């Protein structure tokens, strides 16, 4: 096997409506639009080398077991693939613990590359494995725009959006998703089942071109409580003209939406004194 490469794009939640927890697994029901964007990790799968007896994942900056390593292990267990040990190298560009699903993106890329190496063409199986790894991973098996329900594992593909610009304001701080959900519960943020069903009807009707009044993240108050510096980032995004501003996923990254990429780039330039420096990206797969 020669080296195989792929991109693992970050995603933003253009809306995230939080519902009650499920009795089956304790996860929250949600309604969300997942949109991958042009900020991506580079991932390479290659032979691990002579003398290697196990798969290895190389990902500077990530402590402990990487989710991509777990994806490789689960792939071997579920498929029975007995190929020689591999080395998965991840060149990180997506901020870590930032609410942009960077770990999930890497895990999705790991599954795609392992399937190519093993000669397995079964997206359904890959999504099953992905759903066991985490709610965001299934959407990253084949990155695209999805309406996500359940805990995020039930996916309805949506048409690619028209081009627009996304201002991404990273943070020096990190937030653990589990901590943000716990804080959301403490604040009583989850909606009841009827309210969530109402939001699903509205989002389903407008999902191809979500109007600004539905661009809402129910986790935002919890993320702001745990990371007060988010407030300044939200204010900065509004100050430079974003038409809609919200916390990305569980935070602490903040995103601002603009009519086009040029406007988002201009906004990023006006905020160039921030550290980490903001950047402008386009939706992954946008059509003219």
Among all residues, which ones are annotated catalytic? 11, 136
CB proximity list for 115: less than 8 A, separation 6 or greater: 75, 121, 122, 126
Q: Measured between alpha carbons, how far apart are the two ends of the chain, in Å?
A: 38
Q: How far apart are CA 266 and CA 278, in angstroms?
A: 11
Say how many residues make up the chain: 288
SS3 content of the chain, % helix, strand, coil (to 5): 35, 25, 40
Half-sphere exposure of residue 179: CA atoms within 13 angstroms, side-chain side: 13
* Residue 95, burial from CB neighbour count under 10 angstroms (0-12, 13-18, 19+): buried
């Amino acid at each position: 096997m020669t080296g195989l490469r792929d991109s693992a794009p970050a995603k933003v939640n253009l809306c995230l409506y939080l519902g009650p927890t499920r009795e089956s697994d304790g996860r929250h029901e949600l309604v969300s639009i997942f949109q991958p964007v042009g900020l991506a990790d580079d991932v390479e799968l290659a032979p691990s080398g002579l003398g290697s007896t196990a798969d290895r994942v190389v990902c500077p900056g990530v402590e402990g077991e990487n989710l991509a390593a777990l994806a490789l292990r689960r792939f071997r267990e579920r498929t029975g693939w007995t190929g020689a040990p591999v080395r998965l190298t991840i060149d990180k560009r997506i901020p870590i613990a930032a609410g942009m699903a960077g770990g999930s993106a890497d895990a999705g890329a790991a599954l795609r590359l392992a399937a190519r190496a093993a000669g397995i063409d079964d997206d359904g199986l890959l999504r099953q494995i992905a759903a066991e790894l985490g709610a965001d991973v299934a959407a990253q098996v084949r990155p695209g725009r999805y309406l996500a329900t359940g805990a995020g594992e039930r996916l309805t593909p949506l048409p690619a959006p028209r081009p627009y610009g996304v201002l991404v304001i990273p943070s020096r701080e990190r937030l653990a998703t589990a901590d943000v959900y716990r804080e959301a519960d403490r604040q009583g943020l989850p909606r009841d089942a009827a309210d969530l069903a109402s939001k699903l009807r509205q989002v389903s009707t407008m999902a191809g071109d979500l109007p600004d009044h539905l661009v809402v993240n129910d986790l935002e108050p919890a993320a702001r409580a745990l990371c007060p510096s988010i407030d300044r980032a939200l204010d900065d995004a509004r100050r430079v003209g974003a038409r809609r501003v919200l916390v990305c996923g569980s935070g602490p990254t903040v995103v601002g939406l603009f009519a086009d990429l040029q406007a988002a780039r201009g906004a990023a330039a006006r905020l160039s004194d921030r550290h980490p420096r903001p950047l402008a990206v386009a939706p992954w797969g946008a059509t003219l």
